[in-house]
Amino acid sequence: MRIGLYPGTFDPITLGHVDIIRRASALVDKLVIGVAINRDKGPMFTLEERVAMIEAECAKLSDQTGIEIVVHPFENLLIHC
């Protein structure tokens, strides 16, 4: 199984982010999208809102491609995502 990881703050998720997610989904069997918690940046949207936006965008793509897309917040080391 090929697993990909795409980390970022996604504040907000953009069409560029969605394009990268779409391209990555063609290369892997499972894609983990790590949503960074970075309080120093002063995010426009809360973590919950960002996760919900990404999940909504990725649900359509997951249905189209059949790959598993997991949205997971992380704060410290990327490896914990």
d(CA 49, CA 14): 14
Given this model, what pLDDT does residue 42 score?
83
Tell me how far apart the alpha carbons of residues 54 and 18 are, in angstroms, rounded to a whole number.
9
For the chain, 81 residues long, the average pLDDT of each consecutive 10-residue run is 95 96 96 90 91 96 94 80 60
Q: 77, 40 in Cβ contact below 8 A?
A: no
Q: Is 33 helix (H, G, I), strand (E, B) or coil?
A: strand
User: Model pTM?
Assistant: 0.87
Q: What is the pLDDT of residue 39?
A: 76
